[in-house]
Amino acid sequence: MKLNGKTAIVTGGAMGIGLATSKLLVKEGCIITIWDINKVEMQKAKKDLESLGGKVFTYQCDVTDKKRVYSLALKAKKEMGHIDILVNNAGYVKGGEFLDHDDEVWEKTIQVNLTSMIYTIKAVLPGMYERNSGHIVNISSAAGLLGVAGLSMYAATKWAVLGLTESLRFESWNKGKKGVKWTSIHPSYLAHGMFEGAKLGFLGNLIVPLVKSHDVIAKAIVYGALIKGKYSVRRPRSLRLSILLRGILPDLIFQKLMILLGVHKSMETWQGRK
C-alpha cells in the first residue's frame, strides 16, 4: 500500500507504540485520527504530530465503550472521507498469577485487548468491503505465540487476536475482497513501557533480546505490515523460531526448551510503565 494521502485510525495512539506509529504514518503522508483514553497525553501527541506537518484528529475514547466507538468512527468518516487503515493498538496488561486478581481485572483485560476489536473492526470493515480496499492491523504479542506464567489472561487475549486476524483474512478472501488486508503484530518484551522489567533468562535474552524502543514496532507496522503487506510480523525476528520449534519438536521437549530460555519466569521482574 502506498501511504501518501491515506487515512488511518490508531487506537491508543497517544503513547508508546501508538504514538510512534502515528508519527511514521504522518511522515508517510497519512491523515490520522487518534483515539486514546488519556486526554492529557493525547493533547501532547496532537501537538507533536502537527509539528511534523500532519493533519490530525484526536478524540478521547474508551475502546470498550461500543457506542462511543461507533459514534467516533462515523465522525472519522465525515472528517477524513473514509478509513483506509485501522491500527488496533490499545492494550491493557496486569501482571500476576491467575488467582492473584479479582474477576474484574481479568474482565477488563479481555474487554480492552479483545472485545474492543470487535467494535472497531465492525465500525470500519463495511466501508473497506465496499471499496475492496483497506488494511486492519491488530497488535498481538509474543505472548500470542507462547504461554507465559504471570501473564495468563493477557496471553489468552493475544492468542485470540492472532486467531481473529487470520480468520477474518480468510473471510475477506471468501467474499472476493482480497483488497482488504489483515496483519497481526507480535512484539516481544519492550525495554520501556508497559512491559518494563520483564525479561527472559540469559540464554533466552541472547536469542530473543528486548525490543529497544517503540519505534522498532512502529516500523514493523508501517513498513512491514502496511507497505509490504505481511500477514504476521514478529519483533525481534528470532520470534519466528517459536513457531518453527513448536512445529518440529515433541511437546515435552518444546516445554522444557521454554523453561531453559526462561520464558516461564520472565514476568517475575516486571515493573510496568512508570
Phi then psi dihedrals of residue 56, to 5 deg: -130, 135
E strand or H helix at 22: helix 16-27
pTM, two decimals, is: 0.97
pLDDT, position 273: 81
Is 129 a catalytic site residue? no
Q: Please, what are the domains in the chain?
A: 7-265 (3.40.50.720)
Catalytic residue of the set 59, 119, 129, 154: 154
Measured between alpha carbons, how far is 67 from 45 in angstroms, rounded to an integer?
24
pLDDT, position 123: 98
pLDDT, position 274: 66
Mean pLDDT by 10 residues, the chain (274 residues): 97 98 98 97 97 97 98 98 98 96 98 98 98 98 97 98 98 98 98 95 96 98 98 97 96 97 96 82
Upstream peptide bond of 236 is cis (omega within 30 degrees of 0) = yes
